[in-house]
Structure 1
């Protein structure tokens, strides 16, 4: 399902923007439908998946730009849309080889509408395309992967007059498995500083990180 679920933190958290409180905000309720078909080919090395989804929402919680800045950051507000829907199709293909290479491609087309205005919902791009190539040298516990995502045009306001341009975001990482329970990695996110508005990431620039993951 491509419509992001509501969480307790979503109306309050902030990263590269602030959120204005809304005491009149109501909880949203939704009914969703989805169906998909999946097929594996070439000795389970290639997988195709095609799906359809639709969600009808009452009192949908949306994020909207107020046009005001606070401490040099945009001030946004969560508000309710009395009735809205999203629907679309999703396609995914994954491929694996015995040599350690793998790749996946996914595409989502999303149509959305605020029933009050007939306009598109805010921060809901019609087109999202992602390519994820990866390679692992299992013998040495070394691996690398990348995530290349194209996000189509989307709107910041309910009137659909303030746009976020389509953009492509590139992330990459290399890692070393130190043991069955520990992994050391170097990760570079938003490499070209091109992220223009991903609600789930709040990225304001390039990020480089060294991580040590240990499981117990």
Structure 2
């Protein structure tokens, strides 16, 4: 799996905000850094297909060698992690993850089997007994882990990260950050990280693009 941004230029009206050309390999995390207003979050919106006027772009976005430019956002097979976990507060931790499982992955699987599978995933990150816990009762670090598990449950072919660790306390931040990057490497998912934090960049361990 690879994510390629080929001669990508993003404009606000007629002004070019940023320009980059890179191919992200399986398991690699490429970090994009720059000051506020430089277009970092807009870059992720463009890759997701969520940009709106006055923003536009030229160049090509490729996932596994196939262009995404004409593909609807919900069909791009991209996972996204934001600053906030954005979990569904009316669902439990386990139900949040189950919600993201694609129909194809559910097919032929009983509700009990699906729950057992999700519980096993939660157990791997120290949350095995929290399937039925309302997400609003979880700590910030626990919510961050559930958010990543939900993202991975959707079977993405690449992951975008928009300052996903910025609201965690210092100790928890390092722990969650290392776990996220290790998981992306383990699953061989290309990832694009937007951040202004140098510790995030160093932990990602990949190429750095300054905009």
TM-score range, shorter chain: under 0.3
Could you tell me the TM-score, scaled by structure 1's length?
A: 0.27
TM-score by length of 2: 0.28
> Rg bigger for which structure?
1
Normalized per residue, the structure richer in strand is: 1
